[in-house]
Structure 1
Amino acid sequence: MGLLSRRALNRSLLDRQLLLRRSSLTVTQTLEHLVGMQAQVPEAAYIGLWTRLENFMHDDLAQMLLDRRAVRMALMRSTIHLTTEQDALRLRPLVQPVLDRDLYKNSTHAKGITGLDMGDVVAYGRALLEEAPRTIKEIGELMNHRWPEHPPSSLAYSLRNLLPLVQVPPRGIWGVGGQTRCTTATHWIGRSLNDNTTLGEMIVRYLEAFGPATTQDMQTWSGLTKLKEVVEGLRPNLLVYRDEDGQELFDVPEAPQPDSDTPAPPRFLPKYDNVLASHANRTRIIADQHRKLVMMKNGMKATFLLDGFVCGTWKIVPERSSATLVVEPFGKLNLEEKNALTEEGMKLLQFAAVEAAVHDIQFASETEGRQTIA
């Protein structure tokens, strides 16, 4: 049983996440390899694909959404993910227990559905949503006409968790936006959910994209609990390691494990990138003291990597005819690091702020405990 250092885990993760070098995979291949991308912020997936793929263009993803070959729906951790249409149908049945738990233990909505026959609620809601895509507010109000003693928001939330709802375009289309309107995945895609995929198959795919990993890591990524029995069933076909803390790590045979000294180029990651949210112990990519600077109560900031680790956050500030990339490092950057981030940052601006006539990059620095622009 070999020992894997934090740096070795970092390089394995970066390689499998297509962050050591940009890949020539298609968008479809990438989404399936990554087992989806967290995507409650519509533009995040575009940035996440741009930072991983060669020559990625906005329309490469937008057209897939319009053609119904990719969808946005609640999956792992009960959060919105972008997946291929095939993975939407395969993964949703497997993570349904996560959405059930989120609904029935939800401090806001669980009480609001108490006493209801949820079979009736689901059947009535399905008919309304397949009649026409509707916003959460619209579906809640329509459901409330049938069940006036129950809060519209709780009725709508129950459908969000009990039905496989997808967010339909123009939501998710770069530069278009629009309200979040939903219908069922089976109606939108035109096929039934796939109940043939096993939890073991999902875990193997997770390891291919995020491994080596502990059982707790698998549970953190998926939101599922009690996966130990599933992992034990897979053990004969997995490699087993230990990390620096003595935790048992599992991996698939022949998975890439680059040398710890493999160079890692600077990378700009979008808000909510799964690479930061898919392990119980995230020190392979972000230091514990930096997590609270990135993972806020109201969301996760966009980050950048230097030498493979999260070293700060970034945002694009648009003005009338210009766009400024503001880079906020956690510590002092040397000239080489600034130059590397500037080169990659200009590419980011050319992709994410293509409409701006002027692009600029500014580095924030700590002065007297405040973040100021330098």
Structure 2
Amino acid sequence: MTVLDDRALNRATLARQLLLERADLPAPDAIAHLCGLQAQEPQEPFTGLWTRLRAFDPADLSTALTARAAVRMHLMRRTVHLVTAADALAWRARHHAMLRQRVLGVYRRELADTDLDDLAAAGRAVLADGRARTTTELVQALDRPVPFRRAIGEMLVAALVPVVQAPPRGLWRTKAGVRNVSVASWLGRDIDPLPTDPADPVGQALVRRYLAAFGPASTSDLRAWSGLAGLPAAVKAVRGELVAFRDGRGRELLDLPDAPRPDPDTPAPVRFLPAFDNAILGYHDRGRIIDDAHRGISVAGERAVLVDGRVAATWALDGDTVTVTPLRRLPAPDRTAVLEEGEHLASFLTDGDSQRARLAD
């Protein structure tokens, strides 16, 4: 079985994640290809698409949200993701049990005496009028005593009732709190019911889509990305369609046969990633893109800079200046390339008012 080292896996990841070469895609098509973008920080997906798409216009993403072609909702790993409306409808039911269990993992004691089915019915009834409500407003509208308001609210909007976060939250340069509206009201139809087929057809689609955006990858990588329990029936059902490799640690990696796996020596341009980017978080073993010594930055909300395809620095916008903090010594050509790309990013983030970038001491 062919062994793929970290550099080969890195170039495959960059190609799938549209980080090896910027793509000519509309924002909704890019969101679909990437299986969504992690979006608990509302402005971060704009940088995530800018770094991946040619001539990206932030208005395109804002329009996708207001036109209801894309939505923000709790999905993979119980994290807020920006996904297409079609994927929200198709995937939400498959994630329901996981979402419920993850909220219970945090609030099991507070919810011990709560009838969750009854709570879900009450929440749907309140949201049936199509109004967007804050979580507090939703909980207050329930016709019952609520001893644990935070736990009840989290269970309702993150697990029990399929909801999306209504604009203006998530629009370009807009600060707005979370207001929840039911998927059925916002998209004009309810989520797709989960098929009873034991071969898990929805899971099969997830496996194929994940590999298209992240492969080659292991089943543990798939589990880390989705938050689902490995999708064993789905993986078994599609295994005959796939090709298999090994990584340098001996793990089996699965992939679509015709998916891009570039030469490991393919040059990789500098790329600035937003906070919580799935190019890093979409794997259990992140060694293909980030050193173990720096793994913590990927979950701490720090924004990463890729140099030769790997995380080599963090960045922040300080006023009108993109400040880059190297994690290792950067040779002069890399420093120049980082500053040039940082200037382009500064221009994007300031609507052309600034092209300032600097390396921190």
- Give the TM-score band, short-chain normalised: over 0.9
Alpha-carbon distance, 1:226 to partner: 4.1
Residue 171 of structure 1 corresponds to 169
Residue 198 of structure 2 corresponds to none
Residue 8 of structure 2 corresponds to 8
1:328 aligns with 2:329: no
- Aligned partner letter, 1:37: L
Alpha-carbon distance, 1:180 to partner: 0.8
Residue 369 of structure 1 corresponds to none
- Aligned partner letter, 2:357: I
Contact 1:51 1:267 in 2 (8 A): yes
After superposition, where does 1:195-344 map in structure 2 within 5 Å? 195=193, 198-296=202-300, 300-318=301-319, 323-344=320-341
Aligned length: 353
**1:111 pairs with 106, 109, 112, which one?**
109
Instruction: Please list every run of 5 or more consecutive structure 2 residues that lacks an aligned counterpart in the other structure.
Output: 196-200
Q: How far, CA to CA, are the matches of 2:12 and 2:39 in structure 1?
A: 23
Alpha-carbon distance, 1:117 to partner: 2.2
How many percent of aligned residue pairs carry the same amino acid? 39
3-state SS, counterpart of residue 326 of structure 1: strand
- Aligned partner letter, 2:330: L
Contact 1:294 1:313 in 2 (8 A): no
Residue 361 of structure 1 corresponds to 357
Contact 2:216 2:254 in 1 (8 A): yes
Q: How far, CA to CA, are the matches of 1:28 and 1:325 in structure 2?
A: 27
3-state SS, counterpart of residue 113 of structure 1: coil
Q: How far, CA to CA, are the matches of 1:341 and 1:198 in structure 2?
A: 41
Residue 65 of structure 2 corresponds to 65
Deviations 1:230-279 (A, max 9, x none): 32222111101100111001001101010000000000000011111111
Q: How far, CA to CA, are the matches of 1:254 and 1:28 in structure 2?
A: 23
Instruction: Please list every run of 5 or more consecutive structure 1 residues that lacks an aligned counterpart in the other structure.
Output: 366-374
Deviations 1:198-237 (A, max 9, x none): 2011111100000001110110000011433432222111
Contact 2:65 2:167 in 1 (8 A): yes
**1:121 pairs with 107, 119, 122, which one?**
119
- Aligned partner letter, 2:359: F
TM-score, structure 1 as length reference: 0.91
Q: How far, CA to CA, are the matches of 2:296 and 2:225 in structure 1?
A: 19
Q: How far, CA to CA, are the matches of 2:329 and 2:360 in structure 1?
A: 10
Contact 1:312 1:329 in 2 (8 A): yes
TM-score, structure 2 as length reference: 0.94
3-state SS, counterpart of residue 342 of structure 1: helix
- Aligned partner letter, 1:221: W
Residue 368 of structure 1 corresponds to none
Contact 2:276 2:298 in 1 (8 A): no
Contact 2:339 2:359 in 1 (8 A): no
